[in-house]
Amino acid sequence: MDLLEVQKLCKTYGSGETAVNALRDVSFAVPKGEYVAIVGESGSGKSTLLNLIGALDTPTAGKVLIDGKDIFSMDDRQLTVFRRRNIGFIFQAFNLVPELTVEQNIVFPLLLDYQKPDKKYLEELLTVLNLRERRDHLPSQLSGGQQQRVAIGRALITRPALILADEPTGNLDSQNSSDVIRLLKEASKKYEQTILLITHNRSIAQTADRLLQVTDGSLTDLGRCRA
């Protein structure tokens, strides 16, 4: 079953002679548990695509279905709740709350949704992310790699159907980049997370199950990656 369906998605900024077609009739589907990398040059439209899938922006035309639900048919309140419960975001800028500890940052999405953390699952995440000894540290006391692992934990804590990662290794050195990608791949397999990863790094992209390329707003499915 396809967890994500993108149907004839278009995004145009401006109008008339100054109109910019950021996305042009983009369609593809992603089965549950698949780890997909999206590559493309700067300005190709790949971040626009991720923002639309994550309902951080609205399309000019087309549909996005997550677990069979048309996200743009929802009103603002329904969409906010759906996004909070079903989509996890990982950004290049870690976007941690500086006044909160590692543990508090990870469980923050649950608290926003008035839910209690599953303590067993939290401990499992802290162990998998190698953050148990850092759980009471503030972001300022962490390395870049550790901060990004906290961001991954925050994305996983709600057990979302879909994780969207926009250049999550962009601010990291090669070793930390490898660690982050390994953790995402583990999440895809262990927790059956469906992951869309944007990257300009072809070697990182090749760690995915499948590769998509965005060029001038159009998408090409490059097929399965080498094992």
DSSP category for residue 17: G
DSSP category for residue 207: T
| CB within 8 Å of 27: residues ≥ 6 apart | 6, 7, 8, 9, 62, 219
Q: What's the pLDDT tens digit per position in 18-39?
A: 888 899 999 999 999 899 999 9
Q: What is the pLDDT of residue 72?
A: 95
Chain centroid offset of residue 64 CA: 15
Q: What is the pLDDT of residue 227?
A: 54
List the chain domain ranges.
32-51+75-224
Q: What is the pLDDT of residue 113?
A: 87
Instruction: Mark the ranges of the chain whose per-residue pLDDT is less than 50.
Output: none
CA contacts within 13 A on the Cβ side of 27: 5
Closest CA to 94 of 165, 188, 174: 165
Query: 194 with 3: CB under 8 angstroms?
Result: yes
Q: What is the pLDDT of residue 129?
A: 87
d(C-alpha 69, C-alpha 78), whole Å: 11
DSSP category for residue 161: S
Write the class of the CATH domain 32-51+75-224: alpha beta
Q: What's the pLDDT tens digit per position in 182-218?
A: 888 887 788 788 999 998 888 888 889 999 999 999 9
Q: What is the pLDDT of residue 203?
A: 85
Q: What is the pLDDT of residue 86?
A: 92
3-state class of 35 per DSSP?
strand
